[in-house]
Structure 1
Amino acid sequence: MNRNMALFFLIMFAIGTDSFIVSPLMPTLRESFGITVAQSGWFVSAYALGYAAFALIAGPLSDGWNRKRVLVYGLFAFGLFTLLCGFAAGFWQMVAFRFLAGVSAAFASPQIWAAISQLVKPQNVLKAMGIATAGLAASQMLGVPLGSYLAASGWHTPFFAIGAAAFVLAILAAILLPAMPASGSKNASIWGRYRSLMSGSAPKLSFIAYFLFQFGNFGAFSFMGTWLSDRFHLSVAGVGTVMLFLGLGNMIGSFWGSGFTARFGQRHAFAYGVIFISLLYLLLPFMPKLALVEAAYFLIFLALGMLFPLMMNALQRLSPTARGTISSLANSSMYFGTTLGSLTAGFLYSCSGAFMSVSLLAAVCFCLSLGLFSGSGAFSAVSPVLSHKKQTLKQ
């Protein structure tokens, strides 16, 4: 099982790195394709759009297929289209390949969370999800510097490297992972799977809670660099250094957060973590020194590294037959939360001219999320959906 966890870590690292690696390539890509700054933003947006648009479809479909095959084929497609990005001869070719890479990732990535719940013993699920989350955290920390290093020999090289790595990971997944046959009905429609999943109040409250959490999280994260530049006059390189600390904290929390959870229990660990980061966000605007801000951000992302596996585990427990659907819906909720949270935070920051409004938004969203998760029973010892069904049968 350890080799499977190592494989899941590497897959999440590769997919996450593909998202972050474009950032340092932007100036070179603009020059190579002769495009404007606004047009270059499509290299990021096309990937995100492809992922968000197809994640809601990929999840329900994968619940009716062999999950191992979906993961392997998704990784091969992801590797192919990422590799083709390195051969793109024009702007629209690059946009198309980035979009298709995002679509492929939408099929591959949710299978990791679903496979963990399907393959790992219940007592080890949270730890395994922490390891997968650490792969994303490592990509966040290393994606930009890795892209810069690989691009030293040309902008094509990072795409070739990630594409080749995806092929290797697909082969390893095909060899190492056991078959994971469909957990739900093969004939169920996409809408039917969502309707079955969302029956009852527990799933509705849980996904609204997850959306609100990501709304506040990414709303505050999106304007972290702007605030650090305005308040402490940091350069782009200075903000990048802070990002390294954030990624390190997030990775440490992902790896070792399960120990904290084991001590206090999932419900209390989640509540303590949410209250902790809410207080730190409220204190951030009043910290006079950059060193204090860096320490606070490190602790925030340390806690976030622990909280994300907790939420994913709680969502996965909503239904044992719709894990792919749950993973995809969670990812889509995150993307929509990121988009709307960034827009709202930008409006608040521009109107108030102070980061306090953004940090207050984050704290309020975190607390609302905590209340909704608590009300849903997502962190109870028994799955809230199964509990609801048992009560219905008794009646």
Structure 2
Amino acid sequence: MKTGPLVILMINMFIAMLGIGLIIPVLPKFMLEFGASGQALGYLVAAFGLTQFIFSPIAGELSDKYGRKNMIVSGLAAFTLSQFIFAVADQMWLLYLSRLIGGMGAAFMIPSMMAYVADITTDEARGKGMGLLGAAMSLGFVIGPGIGGFLAEYGLRVPFYVSAAVAFVSTVVSLIFLRETLSMEDQLAHRNSEKKRSNLFVQFGQSFKAAYLVPLILVFTLTFGLSNFEAIFGLFVDQKFGYTPKDIAILITVGALIGVIVQSFLIGRLLQRYGEKRLINISFFVSAVTMVLMLLSGNFWYVLAVTSIFFVFTSILRPSINTLLSKMAGKEQGFVAGMNNAYMSVGNIVGPSLAGILYDVHLNLPYLFGAFLLLFSLFLSVSWNRRTGGRAVTPAVQE
């Protein structure tokens, strides 16, 4: 595994996720300046996921045709522009434009980075590489809100100026120091391939027929369950247990940090010892159980333990599924990574939306439904494993 390029990728991923996290504590007050409604706020959050969903498969294919580096640098540049527009916006449509561009930037970055990791790692080291990249993603999410809240003390728009400046530096560093991993021969082969993926719907149709469909569905259900858990967590523990914002911050931060540690230092060993499929099954089961356990007690230490266990096993799930997918992708790393990100984007759109709807019906319903979906994922995974008979994974995309 080449550590130099991986470090650059981790920094890029961290910066991108940090910029996304910055918006969380600032956005409600920021929106007051525009007199926007809660519905407008919801649409603004969804705008990012929408363009990320639309462009992920396209960007994945482009990374196969024109190289990983070009897509990563383009994504960082788009993210820089997005944060700058948000910082200077004085009209609502500019905020929407910013979020749409940001989602597009994430679509170009994330699948290309995953494909890059697959290019520079062996099968044995790939789990560790994916785990480190996932850890950088998680760490950015974890500390982003805290940094955003701190910088907002100096001005409501300061977090976005700082994020834009750091993203710009990252763009320049990547442009200069990041080397392309896909040979020109492979790029030309993909450009000249007769297999055309003209639009998102065609690509989704192809994924439905491919051998890696079940892992992609698991990406969706994992993302749905995680975003479902996080979306209404603050409201849930506040209304049901009377927790303060400080309590909520401790619960999220501690749980997520433990997950980051697992992804950074343990995931490679776990994958080598137990294999992707077994880890996926165990993690789905434990994640589902912890969602139900969330409903049983309001004791702070109990909730901290349950939350931490949930984050640990969802942190194991992400690189496990990503590693399995990358092994099945063969030479189609960019396309499969793009579809991976597209399924993840759908989960990020649907999960929070449905969680909010169910929460209005009864505050326990989001967690009960989330547990049901994760158990269904376990059933789907076990059934798929039995059908494949434990055979070694092979490239799934047919030329």
CA deviation digits over 1:123-175, x for unaligned, max 9?
21110111110111112211111111112221222122221222222222223
Letter in 1 for 2:58: I
* TM-superposed deviation, 1:59: 1.7
SS at match of 2:88: coil
The answer to whether residue 195 in structure 2 is matched with residue 185 in structure 1 is no
- Give the Cα–Cα distance (whole angstroms) in 1 for the partners of residues 353 and 383 of structure 2: 23
CA deviation digits over 1:163-196, x for unaligned, max 9?
1222222222223322233555114422499389
- Is contact 1:127-1:258 (8 Å) kept? yes
- Give the Cα–Cα distance (whole angstroms) in 2 for the partners of residues 243 and 129 of structure 1: 23
- Is contact 2:79-2:102 (8 Å) kept? yes
- Give the Cα–Cα distance (whole angstroms) in 2 for the partners of residues 343 and 287 of structure 1: 26
The answer to whether residue 259 in structure 2 is matched with residue 254 in structure 1 is no
Question: Do the aligned partners of residues 224 and 174 (structure 1) sit closer, same or farther apart at CA in structure 2, a change above 3 Å counting?
Answer: same
The answer to whether residue 369 in structure 2 is matched with residue 368 in structure 1 is no
- Give the Cα–Cα distance (whole angstroms) in 2 for the partners of residues 53 and 47 of structure 1: 10
Matched with 1:29 is 30
Question: Do the aligned partners of residues 156 and 376 (structure 1) sit closer, same or farther apart at CA in structure 2, a change above 3 Å counting?
Answer: farther
Question: Do the aligned partners of residues 147 and 378 (structure 1) sit closer, same or farther apart at CA in structure 2, a change above 3 Å counting?
Answer: farther
Q: Aligned ranges for residues 151-170 of structure 1 at < 5 Å?
A: 151-170=152-171
Question: Do the aligned partners of residues 376 and 342 (structure 1) sit closer, same or farther apart at CA in structure 2, a change above 3 Å counting?
Answer: farther
* TM-superposed deviation, 1:344: 4.0
The answer to whether residue 143 in structure 2 is matched with residue 142 in structure 1 is yes
Matched with 2:244 is 235
- Is contact 1:211-1:334 (8 Å) kept? yes
- Give the Cα–Cα distance (whole angstroms) in 1 for the partners of residues 49 and 284 of structure 2: 27
- Give the Cα–Cα distance (whole angstroms) in 2 for the partners of residues 250 and 165 of structure 1: 25
**Greater displacement, 133-142 / 220-229:** 220-229
Root mean square deviation, CA, Å: 2.8
Q: Aligned ranges for residues 1-395 of structure 1 at < 5 Å?
A: 1-181=2-182, 182-183=186-187, 185-187=190-192, 188-191=195-198, 194=203, 198=207, 201-255=210-264, 256-287=266-297, 289-355=299-365, 357-371=368-382, 373-375=384-386, 377=388, 381-383=392-394, 385=396
* TM-superposed deviation, 1:28: 3.2
* TM-superposed deviation, 1:215: 2.8
- Give the Cα–Cα distance (whole angstroms) in 1 for the partners of residues 374 and 47 of structure 2: 31
Letter in 1 for 2:21: F
TM value normalised by structure 1: 0.88
**Greater displacement, 14-23 / 192-201:** 192-201
- Is contact 1:64-1:186 (8 Å) kept? yes
Question: Do the aligned partners of residues 379 and 223 (structure 1) sit closer, same or farther apart at CA in structure 2, a change above 3 Å counting?
Answer: farther
CA deviation digits over 1:178-217, x for unaligned, max 9?
2233555114422499389638552222222332333333
Question: Do the aligned partners of residues 27 and 267 (structure 1) sit closer, same or farther apart at CA in structure 2, a change above 3 Å counting?
Answer: closer
Letter in 2 for 1:306: I
* TM-superposed deviation, 1:112: 0.6
- Is contact 2:219-2:318 (8 Å) kept? no
Question: Do the aligned partners of residues 30 and 269 (structure 1) sit closer, same or farther apart at CA in structure 2, a change above 3 Å counting?
Answer: closer
- Give the Cα–Cα distance (whole angstroms) in 2 for the partners of residues 320 and 18 of structure 1: 32
- Give the Cα–Cα distance (whole angstroms) in 1 for the partners of residues 92 and 354 of structure 2: 30
Query: Unpaired runs of 5+ in structure 2?
Result: none
TM value normalised by structure 2: 0.87
Question: Do the aligned partners of residues 238 and 264 (structure 1) sit closer, same or farther apart at CA in structure 2, a change above 3 Å counting?
Answer: same
Q: How many residues align?
A: 388
* TM-superposed deviation, 1:362: 4.1
* TM-superposed deviation, 1:289: 1.8
- Give the Cα–Cα distance (whole angstroms) in 2 for the partners of residues 30 and 348 of structure 1: 25
* TM-superposed deviation, 1:288: 5.0
- Is contact 2:280-2:320 (8 Å) kept? yes
Letter in 2 for 1:189: K
SS at match of 2:247: helix
Question: Do the aligned partners of residues 373 and 161 (structure 1) sit closer, same or farther apart at CA in structure 2, a change above 3 Å counting?
Answer: farther
- Is contact 2:68-2:113 (8 Å) kept? no
- Give the Cα–Cα distance (whole angstroms) in 1 for the partners of residues 298 and 166 of structure 2: 44
